[in-house]
A and B are shown apart, each in its own frame.
Chain A
Amino acid sequence: MTYFQIKNLSFRFPSSPFHIHSLDLSVQKGELVGFLGPNGAGKSTLLRLMMGLLKPQKGEIFVEQLALSFIGLRERAQKIAFVAQSTDFPFPLSVWEIVEMGRHPFLGRFERMSAKDKSICEKALELCDVSGFKDRLYSELSGGEKQRVLLASALAQTPEALLLDEPTLSLDLEHQLRLFEIIQNLHRTEGLTVIVATHELNLANRFLDRLVLMKNGKIEADGKPNKVLTPPRIQSVLNVEVDLLKDRKKMSYFVPKVQKAVKN
């Protein structure tokens, strides 16, 4: 069943050329998809359009056959959760206060969190492996922990689909792996439709089921990781020559050739 259906989508920021060009894409319910591509390819913009944070100039996005522009903000937040690149907040916030925010779309103006809302938050913390520091201040956490708290806040929305914008940015290797493991686990056990915009070729290749390779606001390739990620295509899209290595389990790894960044 199709969850996201994107039809002829075009978007530009004011006073800029088009950033997304008549793009078509559909994502099935329960898929685990990665958006890959160089900086400025339109990955983050596409995610924001899919969350309704930006309005397209042309085309439409359908969520389960329903046009996104006809779904109210609260209703949207009940279905889809968006995790932006790890940010800092201007005022001190505790981990619990951030996770609580995820229940906002379900609560009436004067309604308090019920025991059920609280247990949803607890479960979200647990799934993201951060239940230990409920009362700690967000600003005092490490980058990896911050990212997992933001993910927990998104899960507290009990969404059907999860959109993540470069969740592993500036994380060390261990935390990158841990985050992708959590994402994979969510997909498997909770049946979430997950879309991750990322620069991590090897992690995407290893953890995700389908990859969409983008450049200049267009889709260059779309399919199973081993079909999409080939050295020639990586060179043409990312402008980097790579070597393809295989481990004993036949898993592919891409290693950039030293000082072989192609100059145009």
Chain B
Amino acid sequence: MNRAGTKTTVLIITVIMFLVVLIGCPFVGPTTISFQKVFQSLTPSVDNQDAQIFFSVRLSRVLLAVLAGATMACAGVIFQAVLRNPLACPFTLGVAGGSSFGAVVAILLGFDISVGGFSTVTLFAFAGALLSIGLVYALASILRSYAAVTLLLAGIAISYFFNALVLLSYYVADFTQAYSMMHWLIGSLDVIDFGSIEKLSVLMGIGFLILLSFSRELNLLSAGEELAKAKGVSTVWVIVISIMTASLMTSAVVALTGPIAFVGLIIPHIYRIWIGNDHRFLLPCSALGGAAFLTLCDTVARSFFGPTEVPVGVFTALIGVPVLLWLLFHRRTKG
């Protein structure tokens, strides 16, 4: 089939899939709620238990999953394109290591203050993520090179460094602290207030538009730095802006959810196999696909293991790996 036609079709399919998940998932959960009762305006909301569960418990969590999934998948697309490495993910430049270290330190110190509605752990995790990005950039500018290899090596070095500090903190922590740390490190979604979701979605929206405006440059850059430059792309500018934007977006999300693995790695690949490497389509498809995927995983994680919940970070890989493998095997036959 004509590839331009395929791209539009896949985008439409993805939009439909996303809408189905967005509307359907808040109805799934350990407590059954009825559609009519949720939207019954006659009953005052204080008495309407179904509406309460739907809006303040499930919908807020679903929206967080949407934002987190979309952000991770987009950041994954950017990191893979700019570093020209299919194994890159939003955490390749040390964001996960840095934020984990921040979170672990906050748990260890046991502060319990909140600023602007965000907990200490969230704030420390965000600071840690920014610290790791700053270190990677500092290393790259000392070496006077924003080449893919330099950034990759700097990112991996910083990641290992922070991971070692995380392990050290884990080792000296007591049992309760260690449990909270483990829970955070797997990555999980919790109920947050709509105010935070609003702030977050404005930030993510702006970030996404910045990245989307670089689509064509990303197409060229992902094919090769020299090729891009020969065709008029200011490569350093594109690399710095897009990586910075993607890193900041990831940091904000990871600070709230912990480093949820695999969404940022697998979703871009699924769409690359499906529609190719055109970022004008790859970015929106991955954003919506990542949002739908994470929401679905989280719905499974919170619904079917009652009375407890399993952190969603476990399911992203458990569900994602078979999907990726299936696609890899089918690509051959598709030619």
Q: Which residues of A contact B (CB under 8 A)?
A: 51, 53, 73-78, 81-82, 84, 87, 89-94, 96-98, 101-102, 104-105, 107, 109-110, 135, 157
Contacts and interface: CB of A to CB of B under 8 A. Distances in A.
A96 B86 CA distance: 22
A81 B223 CA distance: 16
Given A53-B226, A91-B277, A109-B213, 4 more contacts: A77-B230, A87-B224, A90-B84, A91-B272
B308 interface: no
A97 B278 contact: yes
A61 B223 CA distance: 27
Contacts of B277: 91-93, 97
Nearest to A150: B227
B269 to A, nearest CB: 10
Tell me the dominant secondary structure on chain B's binding face: helix
B216 A102 contact: no
Contact of B231 (A89, A90, A96, A157): A157
Interface in B183-234: 213, 216-217, 219-220, 222-224, 226-227, 229-234
Nearest to B225: A53
B278 A105 contact: no
A102 B276 contact: no
B3 A94 contact: yes
Contacts of B217: 104
A218 to B, nearest CB: 25
Contacts of A104: 216-217, 220, 231-233
Interface residues of B, number: 28
B85 interface: yes
B333 interface: no
A161 B276 CA distance: 31
Interface string B60-86: 000000000000000000001100111
Contacts of B213: 109-110
Given A101-B231, A104-B231, A93 B216 contact: no
Contact of B85 (A76, A90, A107): A90
A73 B227 CA distance: 12
B36 interface: no
Contacts of B80: 91
B276 A90 contact: no
Instruction: Report the 10 A-B pairs with minimum CB-CB distance, sorted nearest first.
Output: A77-B232, A105-B232, A74-B232, A82-B230, A91-B277, A90-B84, A89-B223, A73-B232, A104-B231, A77-B231
A51 B232 contact: no
Interface in B246-294: 272-273, 276-278
15 contacts: A53-B226, A53-B229, A84-B226, A87-B227, A89-B222, A90-B222, A91-B86, A91-B272, A91-B277, A92-B272, A92-B273, A93-B276, A102-B231, A104-B220, A110-B213
A203 B270 CA distance: 45
B311 to A, nearest CB: 32
A81 B232 CA distance: 10
Nearest to B234: A73
Nearest to A163: B230
Most chain A CB within 10 A, of B216, B217, B233, is at B216
B32 interface: no
Contacts of B234: 73
Nearest to A100: B219
B84 A84 contact: no
Contacts of A75: 232
Contacts of A89: 222-224
Given A78-B232, A101-B231, A96 B3 contact: yes
A110 B81 CA distance: 20
A93 B223 contact: yes
